[in-house]
Structure 1
């Protein structure tokens, strides 16, 4: 399997395990929490192209759940999927870079204290402080995924940043990294990246993945941590 195929398999498994309203509609794994968050979307599993009837069923699911019709696909399958979606009124609305790190040569751990956070509500509140007002609901959903590992970086007992890790299909997905505004620029994000890579390796993963907005400080951090660009995650929407 290619890097993107492995990342895709991991994302599909993660979506299927989410403790929310989940439905398999053709080649899509669809989630709906009833809150209309960005997590309420469909992931294209790449097994085959969707039929028009399956797209209509997906759209009906989204209407019933009160959420926007949103699809995610990785770039290795998008060329075949794009004309099918375009013919049904879908457009590309957002692109993230997909990075991969084969877990052989890892960055050194930081001197910051990093600990697991057992309480999902505490972790979600810490994360929302970094992501900003209005993110409490989505971070609460992230915190309650059955396989999520919630981490907090501290200095002298003060929480500076938080992040999440999930291992599925031998791939460690890194996400939910959030730094409190008062502690930005102090190495907390790099420390959490390195810690999660070591933790993933200890848990038997052989690959780590992360999605990041192009051109951001987060992208520069993951490049310095040894990640390499593997492709893109394209988000499709339909009005």
Structure 2
């Protein structure tokens, strides 16, 4: 695992730690835990609707031996960015981690503005079109004080939202969504460029985001100069 990928995975793990703490403080159902074990990065969410949050990352040849002891008693998705094949697990799809080293920041976009937590979450959830515990988790995460919140405004109407946190010089970009009726106008590309500028101005060396494999988001990140790292997902049979 390269130093760049390692730093990106650790930044994502720290972001998840903040998000889970925010969810706990908001009284969401179930239990949340974010911890390290033998160099592995683990996240547990016990509510069935939030099971997709339960993951183990940071898998390298050096940390792989610690995996057996970590998996006892729960069923997370194990994410590998190298050629590691965890023993006893079966393939469970693919995800993408996009990493970009920051240089000269893009130009400012006059239609992208900072947003307060309430209006930002309204746009974000309307774009995600989710409800129940997932919506509650997204809202708690994006209301936390460490979150930088941005919206793209057309006329006087916010049509897209995107967030960012910073962890030891790495900007974690996410979440992001566009109102359904406003998609296809390049809103997320503009919000992505804006966050890269803010991250560079804050002194960040790297930016990282996650996306579904072969998704529109992954394609946007690739066009914006991100290196797309395939993360193989593994699960208990």
Instruction: Give the TM-score, by structure 2 length.
Output: 0.79
Counting only pairs closer than 5 Å after superposition, residues 2-151 of structure 1 correspond to structure 2 as 2-17=3-18, 18-19=20-21, 20-36=32-48, 37=50, 38-44=52-58, 46=60, 48-49=63-64, 50-56=66-72, 60=73, 62=74, 68-73=75-80, 75-76=81-82, 79-80=83-84, 82=85, 85=86, 87-88=87-88, 90-119=89-118, 122-134=119-131, 135-145=134-144, 147-151=146-150
Distance 2:69 2:109 in 1: 51
- Judged with a 3 Å threshold, the aligned counterparts in structure 2 of structure 1 residues 146 and 28 are, in CA distance, closer, same or farther, namely farther
**Is the Cα contact below 8 Å between 2:39 and 2:63 reproduced in 1?**
yes
**Is the Cα contact below 8 Å between 2:42 and 2:55 reproduced in 1?**
yes
Deviations 1:31-81 (CA, angstroms, capped at 9, x unpaired): 33443312233333646222523321xxx2x4xxxxx522233x13xx23x
**Is the Cα contact below 8 Å between 2:99 and 2:226 reproduced in 1?**
yes
Deviations 1:208-233 (CA, angstroms, capped at 9, x unpaired): 1122223333233223323233x222
Deviations 1:123-153 (CA, angstroms, capped at 9, x unpaired): 3332221122334134124314563322222
Distance 2:140 2:93 in 1: 22
- Kindly state the Cα deviation for residue 13 of structure 1 after the two structures are TM-superposed: 3.0
Alignment of 1:217 with 2:216, yes or no, is: yes
Runs of 4+ in structure 1 over 4 Å off: none
**Is the Cα contact below 8 Å between 2:117 and 2:142 reproduced in 1?**
no
Distance 2:59 2:10 in 1: 7
Deviates more, 1:139-148 or 1:96-105: 139-148
In structure 1, runs of 5+ residues without a counterpart are: 63-67
Distance 2:67 2:6 in 1: 22
Aligned-residue CA RMSD (Å): 2.5
User: Paired residues, what number?
Assistant: 219
Distance 1:235 1:130 in 2: 26
- Judged with a 3 Å threshold, the aligned counterparts in structure 2 of structure 1 residues 148 and 236 are, in CA distance, closer, same or farther, namely farther
What SS does structure 2 have at the residue aligned with 1:32?
Answer: strand
- Judged with a 3 Å threshold, the aligned counterparts in structure 2 of structure 1 residues 22 and 223 are, in CA distance, closer, same or farther, namely closer
**Is the Cα contact below 8 Å between 2:120 and 2:161 reproduced in 1?**
yes
Deviates more, 1:19-28 or 1:207-216: 19-28
In structure 2, runs of 5+ residues without a counterpart are: 22-31
**Is the Cα contact below 8 Å between 1:16 and 1:29 reproduced in 2?**
no
